[in-house]
Structure 1
Amino acid sequence: MAGQAKENARFFSLKWKAGLLFSLILIGVNGGLAALGYLQLQHQFVQHQREINQQQAEELRALVLDRFQQLEQVAALTPVIAASQSGESRLAKRLETVFEQNAATLEIDWGLDFAAFFSSNGELLYHWQSEQTLACFKPQVAQVNRTQQPLHWIDCQRGCRQFVAEPLLDQAEYAGVTLLGRPISDLILAFNSITGADIALLSQSAQPGPDPLAGTLAAHWGVGVVARSQADQLLPMLNAAASRIALTQLQGEPQQLTYAGNRYALQIVPLSASSGVHRPQFLIINDITRSVEQIEHSTRTAVIAGLLGLLLSEAVLLLLLWSPMRRLRLLSRALPLLAQNAFAEVQHKLARPIKRIAADEIDVAGGAVLDLAARLEALNLEVRKRAISLIERSEELARERDFVTSLLHNAQVVILTQGSQGQLLSINPEGERVFGCREEQAGKLSFLELIEVAGEMDDPEPYLQRLKRGEIDVYQHDSWVVSDDGCQFSISWVHSRLPAKDVDDLPLLLSIGLDVTERKVAERNLAWLADHDPLTELFNRRRLVAELERLLERSERYDESGALLFIDLDQFKYVNDISGHQAGDALLKIIARQLAQATRSSDILARIGGDEFAMLLPNADVSAAVDVAGKLLDVMKGIELPSKEGSQRISASIGVVLFPDHGVNLQDLMANADLAMYQAKERGRDRWHLFAQDEQIREQMSDSVSLKGKIEWALAEGGFLLHYQPIMEIASRRISHYEVLLRLREADARIVMPGDFIPVAEKTGLIHSIDRLVLREAINRLAELGKAGQQLINLSVNLSGWAVDDPELLPLLKQLLQLRGVRPQQLVFEITETAALADMTAAESFIRELQELGCRFAMDDFGVGFSSFYYLRELPLDIVKIDGSFIRQLPQNRKDQVFVKALVEMASGLGKKTIAEFVEDEATLHMLEEIGVDYVQGYFIGRPQTEIELPTG
C-alpha cells in the first residue's frame, strides 16, 4: 500500500524545482539590486543637490557681502575726496561738488543710484538722485550717529536696494552719516552668471502688479517677487510652485517641482541683513530635469539587464540539468532492485554508462551502486558461511586496532613504553623524530640515557622507581632531549603505571611527552625583555630600580657604600632632527657599547629613558665615583657617528650621588641624582656634578614656585606691561617699527624682567597664556593707533618657542585681526633661533602660515646657534636679528666685524633684511651702515617706553 501511494503521488521533476527556486532567487536578487541601485542613485543625487544648494547659498551670501563692502569702500572714500576740494568750507557744498563731478563713475563703475548725507544730529546735508522721502531712513541714521559703527541692510519697501550707512568724517572729526544705495538687480544677474541657477527675491512688502500670476503668488505665499532672473519664464513656474508647495517647506530642505515637463529644485536662502519686519528672502531655482532622467534611465537599464540575465540563467540551468536528471532517473530505477537482491539486473541496467570527459557525482553514485551491488552479493554469500557474532567481534577489534594505530602515528606527542629496567619497549613516530632513533632500536635504549636534566630540574630516577613499585600513580617532570642531529628539545613528561595482565608480569610504564621548546624559548625572551632595553640590550629602568633596592638593603645591613650616576646626553634631539631617528638609534647603540666596555664587571649599566643612562657602582666612594664619571665623559668625547651632514659628536652631563650619604631610599637617591645631573647641564654641559646637601637648587625651585604664583596673578589682574623700543631704518634715518617688550609689575610696583619669569612660565606651561596676552595687547594697541590716524606704525612681537606648538595661537590671531580691523602687514613676529631649532618642521609650517596671512617673520638672537647659516637657508624668514653679543664691541673687535659682515652678506643674498641690536653709540651705527645692515635698535636709537612716541607734523 505504501508503494502504491508513492506511485500515485504527483511527480514534479527536480530540474523544474531547481529552475523555479533559481528563478525566484534571481528575481529577488535582481529586484533588490535594482531597488538598491535606484535608492543609491537617489541618495547620491539628494546629497549632491544639497551640496550644490549649500554652495549656491554661500555664493549668494558672499555676493551680498561683497557688494556691501564695495558700498562701504565708496562711503569711506567720499569724505576723503570731499576733503580734497579746495576753496569750499561747507561740507554739504563739497559733497555736492564731488557727486556732480563723479556722477558717471559712481553710477556706471560702482552701480550707485542713491546717496544722502546727514549731520550728526540727523539733519539732511545733501542727497543725490533721490526722489523719495528720506524720513524713512531716520532710524538707521540715528543708530549710526549713536554707535558710530557702520550699518548695512536690504530694503525692498521702496524699490529693492542694498543700503550702507557709514560714519562721516570731516577732517578727522565725526560729522554725521553717509547713506549710499545700489539696486539689487546686478546681484541677481551676477549670481545667475556664476552659478547658472535662477533666482528670485521675495518680500512681503512688495505689492502685486497687474500680472494675475503675481497676484496668485501673493495669495498663496503672502509675498511678492521684487526681482528675478528670466523675468518672462520664471513667474509662471513660481505661480505653479506656490499652489503646490508651502513657503515654510522651502525654508528647510530643497523641494522638487514638476512644471512644463521639467523638474526643478527650489530652496529659500534667508537674508539677515535687511530692514524692518518684512525681511526679503532669496529663492534659488535649479533645473534638475537631466539628473532625474539619468536616474530613471539607469534604473530601467538595470531592470532590463536583470530580466535578460534571469532568462539566460534559467536556460543555461535547464540545459545543464537535463542530461544529469535523465541519468539520475535511470539510477533511481536501479536502486530498488538492490532491496530485491536482483544484483544481476542492476549490473545490466548500469553496465553501459555514457562516455564523457570527466566523471561527476552521478557517475560516482552509479559506480558506487555497482560496487554496492557487488559488495552486497558477496556479503550475502559470506553471511551464509559465518555467524553474525564473529562478524561483529572482528569489526570491533579492527576499529580498536585502527584507532590505536592512528593515535600512535598521528599524535603530536611522544608516546613510549618502558620496561621494569627503564628500557624502551615501543616508541611512536613523534618520539622517533625527537630522539632520532627507529622503533626497532627501542629495546637497546634506556629512557634515562636519552634525556638530560639541568639547572633546577629534579632527578626523575627516584620518582620513576616509586612509580614502578606502585607507591605513586602519576609522575610529571621536564627534561631536555638532544637528537642525533644536534637539535635540542624541551619535553614535558607525564608517566603512568600500566596494569599487569597477570601476577607474573613485570610492571610497565606509559610515558607521554609534549614538546614545549617554543614555549620555553618565548618565556626566556619575555624574561629577558622584562629586564633589558631592546635597542641597546642594556638593563632597563625596572631592573636598575631592583638592583638599586638590593644594594640599598646591603648598604643598610652591612654598612656598605656605593654610587649612582645619572647620564643625560647633551642636545641629542639635534641628531634626530638633522640625521633622522635611525641615525639617533645607531648612535645610542654605539654609546651603550662604549659605556659597557668602560665599566667594571660588578658595575650595573642601564638605559632608563630616551637619551638617559644610569650606572650603579657597588662598594664605591667619592673618589671612585668621580673617577668613573670623568672616564665616561672621556669615552663620550671619542664617540662620533659619520653622516652625510658630517661627523656627529656627542657629550653628556652626569649627576653623581652616593649612598647612604645622599639618600637611604630609592626615591630620594634618584631625585638627588636627577638634580645633580641638571646642575651639570646648567653649568655648561659636558661635565659631571657631585650632589651636595647645601646647594641652593631646592631654594631655586622654591623661587620658581613663587614666580609661578606671581605670573598667575599678573595674568588674572593685569600685572603685565608692554614697553615699546623704536627700530630705525638706517637708509632713511626713520623709525620703521617698534619692538614690543614685556614686563611684570608686582603688587608692590616692583618690575620683574622677562629673563626672570619667562623660564618659569615655559616650565609651568603658562607661556601659552603670556603669548596670547602679548598678541592681544599688541593688536589692540595697533587698533587704537589706527583710530588716531597712525595706520603706518608697525609692531614687532616676540613669541616664545612654545608658540610653534600652540594650536590656539593662529586662530586667535586671525580673529583679532578681523575684529580689530588691523592689517597683518603691521605685525612682525620674532622667535629666538634656539626655539626655532627645537622643532624645525613645526617652525617652518608656523612661519609659512603667518606669512600667508600677510605678517612678516624675524629670527631673534641670530648667530648664537651652532647651525645658524644652515637654518638661515632652510627657514622662510623675512628678517634676521643679529644677536647683541656681536654688536656691543663691534668697532673694537675685528672678529665681530668679520662675522657680522658675513652674516649680512648671506642674509642679503637670500633676500632677507637684517636688524642689529644693542647699538649704543654713533660709531657702531656708522660701522653697521658701512657693512650694509638694514635696521638698528638700541639705547642710541631710543630706550623702551610705555607709550609710542607718535610722529609730529
Structure 2
Amino acid sequence: MDLPITRQGHSRYLSLRWKSLIALSLALVLVNASLALIANVQLANQFELQQGTVREQQARQLRALVEAGDQEMSKLASLVPLLGANEPPARDLQDQIAQSLDAHGALLDLEWDIRSVHWVLPDGTTSLSWPSDRPMLPDSLLGRLAQDPERTIDALICDSECRQYLATPLLWQGSFAGSLVLGRSLADALLNFHTLTGAEVAISWSDDGDVQPSPLEPQSPAYLQFPAITYPEETLPILRSAAAALAKTNAQGTPISLQHDAGWFEIFRIPSLVPGIDALIVNDISAQREAIRSATIGSVLLGIIGLILSEGLLLAIMKGPLYRLRDLASVLPLLAENRYADLRNRLPSRGKMWTPNDEIDLMTGTVRSLTDRMEDLQRDREQAEARLVWLANHDPLTQLFNRRRFNDEFKGILERAMRFQHQGALLFLDLDQFKDVNDLSGHQIGDTLLQRVADQLRLVSQPSDLIARLGGDEFALVLPEGSEDDARAAAETIQHAIHSILLQEKGRRHHASASIGIVMFPDQGTTIGQLMANADLAMYQAKEKGRGRWYMFCEEDQGKEELDARVQWREEIAQALELGRFELHFQPIIEVATGQLHHMEVLLRMCNAQGETIYPNRFIPVAERTGQIRAIDRWVIDNALATMQQHDNLRLSINLSASAMDDPLLLPDLRRLLLRYQIAPERIAFEVTETAAINSLANATRLMRGMQKLGCRFALDDFGSGYASYAYLRQLPVDDVKIDGAFIRDLARNSEDRIFVKAITDMVHGMGKCVIAEFVESTEILMILKGMGVDYAQGYLIGAPTPLTRAENLRNR
C-alpha cells in the first residue's frame, strides 16, 4: 500500500519547484530591473553629454551669426558711399550717401538685409534716414555716439523688435564728416540659426538691459518678453509652460526639460548674447527621449523574455528530479514498518544512463545503504532480543533456567499442588568443596564442572521436572508430583550421577559430589521463600554429615533458628549496602619511639534500622558465607579512598577479608580507584589476618606482591593467633607484622607474653619488617613495648575507634 507523505509543522505546503521558481524569478526581476535602470541611466547620461555638446555648439553658432552680421555691416559701411559713383558729383558726403541709397537702397535690403541707414553728424544730429519711414535711432545709441563720435560702435537693441546697429565713422576730404549707422533685423540671424540647427530661439533681456517691454506682450513678466522669436505660434506656448522654471533659472544656463503636448523640449539660456540681451534656445528632444524610452522598454521586455525562458527551463529541469525526490520521500516511511524489501523495490531509479550521478542519486544510494544496514541491525536486534529473552530466563553457562525463571515456574507448580491437593518435592543441591576446584585448577575447570553437573541433572530428570541453576554452585530440582520416597530416590540417583563426574587437570583429579536438601510441598511450606529457606537448612544439615549426603527437612530441626538468623543477617547486609548504613571508624596508630601519630586503621561498623551500631563480628561471618563479603570489601576501599582525597595528610590501614585472597578483580579495581581519587599509594596499607593468609597462601602472596607493585604496604594482622611460623613469615611478602592483642593485653603481668613479644619483635626486625602492637590499654604496657623496640602501637590508651571528626581531634591533641 502507498504511504502518504506527511507534512509536519506548518500546515501550508509549497513545492520545492515553486520555491525555486519564486526565488529565481525574484532574483531575475531584481537583476533585470537593475540592468534596465542602469541602461536607462547610462542612456540619459549619454544623452545629457550629447546635449551638452549641442548646447555649446548652438551657443557658439548663435554668437557667430550675430558677430557675422556685425562684420557684414562693417564691410558695407565703407561701400555704401561708393554705390552712387556713377551719379553727378555730390557737394558733400551726405549727398553722396543719399544718392547711393536712392539708387541702390533696395539692393542693400535684398542682398544684405540692411533695413535702415542713418547719417549722424559729428554733433550727434541725425541728418539722414533711410528709408524715410524708419524710426529714429535709439537714444542709447545716440548717447554713445555723442560720447565718442569717431569710434566704431556696434549694438543690439530690442524694443518692438531686435535690431543690430553698426556706427562707422567716415572721412570727407580728409576730415571726420560723421558716422554712418547701418541697421538690420536680428530675425534673419535667428532664422538662419533655426535653419542651421533646427532649434527655436527667443531673445529676452536681462534686468540691467536698456530695453523696454514688448508692446505685444505688455502683461508678461520680463522673462517672458521676447522681442525676437522664431515661429512664435509654436515656441511661445512652450516657453509659457516653462515660465516657473525660467523664473528660477533667469540668470543661469541650466537647461530645462519639459513635456508639452505630445513632445519633449529642452530650453537653455545663453546669457549675455550681448550686454543686457539673453537668448533662449528651445530644442525638440522628443526623438531622443523616445529613443531612450524605447531602449529601456526593449531592455525590460528582453529581461521579461529571459525570465520566462529561465522559469520554463527551470521547471523543465526540476520536474524529473523533484518527482524522484517525492517518490523517495513517499517510500521512506516503509523504514518505520521494517518493510526493507518493499522499500528497495520502490526506490526511484537513477536518471538517464548517459547523465552523471547527482545528489539525488547519492541520496538514493544512501537510503539503499541505510536500508541494508537497518535490515542487518533489525536482524541483529531481533537476535539480540531473542538472546536477551533467553538470557533473562536461562543461565548462560549451563543452559538451565536461572533463579528468576525458576521462581516463576515454581510458583505455578506450587499453586497447582495446593489447588489439586497433591504433593511435590524440592531438591536443593550445593556442590561440595567447589571453591577448591577454582582455587587449585582455575575457574575454567570450575565452569566445566558446573556444565557436567547440569548435563547429569538433565539425564536423570523427567521432562516434567523443573531444573535450574540458582547461582554459583547451587542447583534446584522440583518434582511437581512425588512422594517422599520419590524424592529420596531422586536424591540417590542425582548423587550417583554427580559422583560419576571426574575431572583431571595438570595432575589433579577432582571427584564431584553434592549435598542435597529435600523439602516437601505444600506440607513444609506454601511460599517459595519458605520452601527455599527450609531446603537451604536441610542442605546444611546434609553437609554436617559429610560430603555427598542428602537430608530430608524436618520441622523439629534445631538448625532452623540458626538458618533464620543467617537469612535475616543477609537481608540486613543487603539493606546496609543499598541504603548506606555502613560507616567507617578510625583508630589512631602512633610511633612508639616519638609518640606521634603515624596512621589510622579503618574499622567497619553497621547501623541497623533502629540506629544501633553493630560490630563486624556479628555480620562478617554471614557475609562470608553468603558471598556478600566482596561487596563489603569494595565499599570499604572506595569510601576509605574518598575520605583520603578530602584529607591530604591522612594515611590509612584498610582491613581485607579472607575472600579477598581469591578475588581476581581486586587489584584492577584498586588500580582504577587510585586513578579516580588521585591518591598516592604510599599513603595506604592493607591488612589481612594470619589465618586468612595461610589458608590461601599462594593467592595471598600474589595479592601482596601486586599491591606492593602499586606502591601500597601490606600488614599481617593477628600474628601469633594461629599456626604461623618463621617459614610462613618468610614466604609472605609483608611490610608490617601486627602482633595479636591476646599477647599484649596482659604484657605487664605475664612474663611469657613478654618473652613471646620480644622474640617476635626481634625476628620481624631481623627480616627488615616493622612491628605493630594492638590492644595497648595502659601506659605501663606502652613503656614495655618501647623498651622492646616495637615500632607502632594502637589501643584504647591511644584512642578508640571513632568517626573521622573525633579521630581528627585526637590527632591534633
- TM-score, normalising length: structure 1: 0.34
Q: Which has the larger radius of gyration?
A: 2
